[in-house]
């Protein structure tokens, strides 16, 4: 069972997680009309820090914009979210790596199938950072379910309702004894996993499905583009065929909840020659250094929240922040 921390952020205040509940008559519950993001809290240089928080906020705003939820941006700023994240992490005394899930939920009661002009609630909760696939040798299965295309439910928007697609595909993979699925698009090209992006290595070049391949534009995917540049590894974003995966030298996944996981088997075929390929390993080590705060040029992606060894005084500071500051 995944450990969920005791305190949540809900309706502009911190509450016990059991009180962070949505009405059964809300659009969020009726239609899955919520947008979300999940980011890691890391321990970097003795401090507790959020990774790429600004980018997560921006993707949340973009998801709301695509779906037509129009009350997020007038209400929330990045600075306000940052304050709320700090308060939530402190209230939960987070002192090890953890995930934070932020949701923006349309919670007006029975408004019918529409999205504009609806009241929304922002929620956040913290849970243990356990990867959803094995790190050294994940086994994947091509899904019988295809990835929802941009013209149906846009993949680049992180919308709760759309995750039924991921649930179907991952459950199919689990039922067949695999760790996760590989989604193909309607044309049979590779998209991604149930909740992670995919990279392959062929002849020393990193290849990943391009942004128009019905993938979620993962924030870790973008980070890997920067790593590839730093490490002088050629990178190509393009359409990827399934059979390219079968003959790749290396295949790995990336994402907040998959981490950088080396894939050892796809559809019964062994991938590569070693459990963790050399390029996968270099990228993983780079990420570990970045997450520890050991790479100065990536410190810009760490939002420092507080020193790890907290004293009680900091809890008073949480009160002082006053979550009324969350509104513009």
Considering the rule CB under 6 A, would residue 169 count as an interface residue with ligand PMP? no
Considering the rule CB under 6 A, would residue 38 count as an interface residue with ligand PMP? yes
- Beta strand 47-51 with 302-307 is antiparallel
Q: Tell the smallest beta-carbon distance from residue 120 to ligand PMP (Å).
A: 20
Other CB atoms within a 10 A radius of the CB of residue 20 amount to 18
Q: In this chain, which of 173, 182, 207, 219 binds ligand PMP, going by CB under 6 A? A: 219
Considering the rule CB under 6 A, would residue 197 count as an interface residue with ligand PMP? yes
Q: In this chain, which of 98, 195, 207, 228 binds ligand PMP, going by CB under 6 A? A: 195
- Binding window for ligand PMP (CB under 6 A); candidates: 87-95, 105-113, 188-196, 298-306: 188-196
Contact indicator for 106, 118 with CB cutoff of 8 Å? yes
Q: Tell the smallest beta-carbon distance from residue 13 to ligand PMP (Å).
A: 26
Select 218 or 293, whichever has its Cβ closest to ligand PMP.
218
DSSP assignment of 219-249: HHHHHHHHHHHHTT--EEE---BHHHHHT-S
Considering the rule CB under 6 A, would residue 27 count as an interface residue with ligand PMP? no
Look at residues 188, 183, 241, 172 and name the one whose alpha carbon lies nearest to residue 216: 183
d(CA 192, CA 254) in angstroms, rounded, equals 10
Count of residues interacting with ligand PMP (CB under 6 A): 13
Considering the rule CB under 6 A, would residue 209 count as an interface residue with ligand PMP? no
Q: In this chain, which of 107, 179, 185, 192 binds ligand PMP, going by CB under 6 A? A: 192
Considering the rule CB under 6 A, would residue 218 count as an interface residue with ligand PMP? yes
d(CA 30, CA 184) in angstroms, rounded, equals 28
List of residues 6+ apart from 114 with CB closer than 8 A = none
Q: In this chain, which of 103, 255, 277, 293 binds ligand PMP, going by CB under 6 A? A: 255
Q: Tell the smallest beta-carbon distance from residue 223 to ligand PMP (Å).
A: 8
Contact indicator for 196, 257 with CB cutoff of 8 Å? yes
- Binding window for ligand PMP (CB under 6 A); candidates: 13-21, 190-198, 206-214, 283-291: 190-198
Select 94 or 195, whichever has its Cβ closest to ligand PMP.
195
Q: In this chain, which of 220, 261, 280, 287 binds ligand PMP, going by CB under 6 A? A: 220
What pairs with residue 10 in β-bridges? Answer: 13, 123
Q: In this chain, which of 111, 196, 209, 293 binds ligand PMP, going by CB under 6 A? A: 196
- Beta strand 120-128 with 98-106 is antiparallel
Q: Tell the smallest beta-carbon distance from residue 46 to ligand PMP (Å).
A: 25
Q: In this chain, which of 256, 261, 303, 326 binds ligand PMP, going by CB under 6 A? A: 256
Q: Tokens for 155?
A: 């993949």
For the packed helices 53-67 and 219-230, what is the interaxial angle rounded to 10 degrees? Answer: 130
Considering the rule CB under 6 A, would residue 138 count as an interface residue with ligand PMP? no
Q: Which long-range contacts (CB under 8 A, 24 or more apart) does 282-289 make?
A: 282/231, 282/233, 283/224, 283/227, 283/228, 283/231, 283/233, 283/252, 284/260, 286/227, 286/230, 286/231, 287/223, 287/227, 287/260
Q: Tell the smallest beta-carbon distance from residue 237 to ligand PMP (Å).
A: 14
Interacting residues toward ligand PMP by CB under 6 A: 38, 166, 192, 195-197, 216, 218-221, 255-256
């Amino acid at each position: 069972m995944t450990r969920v921390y005791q305190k949540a952020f809900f309706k502009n205040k911190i509450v016990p997680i059991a009180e962070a509940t949505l009405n059964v008559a809300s659009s969020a519950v009726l239609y899955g009309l919520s947008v979300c993001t999940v980011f890691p809290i890391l321990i970097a240089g003795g401090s507790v820090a959020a990774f790429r928080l600004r980018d997560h906020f921006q993707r949340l705003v973009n998801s709301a914009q695509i779906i037509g939820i129009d009350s997020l941006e007038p209400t929330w700023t990045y600075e306000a979210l940052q304050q709320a994240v700090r308060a939530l992490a402190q209230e939960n005394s987070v002192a090890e790596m953890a995930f934070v899930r932020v949701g923006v939920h349309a919670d007006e009661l029975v408004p019918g199938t529409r999205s504009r002009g609806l009241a929304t609630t922002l929620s956040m909760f913290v849970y243990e950072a356990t990867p959803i696939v094995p790190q050294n040798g994940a086994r994947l299965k091509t899904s019988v379910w295809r990835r929802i295309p941009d013209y149906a439910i846009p993949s680049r928007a992180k919308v709760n309702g759309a995750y039924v697609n991921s649930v179907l595909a991952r459950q199919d993979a689990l039922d067949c004894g695999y760790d996760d699925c590989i989604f193909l698009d309607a044309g049979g090209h590779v998209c991604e996993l149930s909740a992670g992006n995919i990279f392959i290595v062929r002849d020393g070049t990193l290849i990943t499905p391009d942004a128009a391949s019905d993938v979620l534009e993962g924030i870790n995917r973008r980070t890997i583009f920067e790593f590839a540049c730093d490490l002088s590894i050629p990178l190509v974003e393009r359409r990827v065929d399934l059979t390219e995966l079968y003959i790749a030298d290396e295949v790995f996944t990336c994402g907040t909840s998959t981490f950088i996981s080396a894939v050892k088997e796809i559809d019964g075929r062994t991938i590569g020659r070693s459990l963790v390929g050399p390029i996968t390993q270099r990228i993983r080590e780079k990420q570990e250094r970045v997450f520890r705060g050991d790479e100065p040029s990536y410190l810009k992606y760490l939002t420092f929240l507080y020193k790890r060894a907290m004293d009680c005084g900091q809890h008073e500071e949480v009160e002082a922040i006053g979550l009324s500051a969350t509104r513009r």
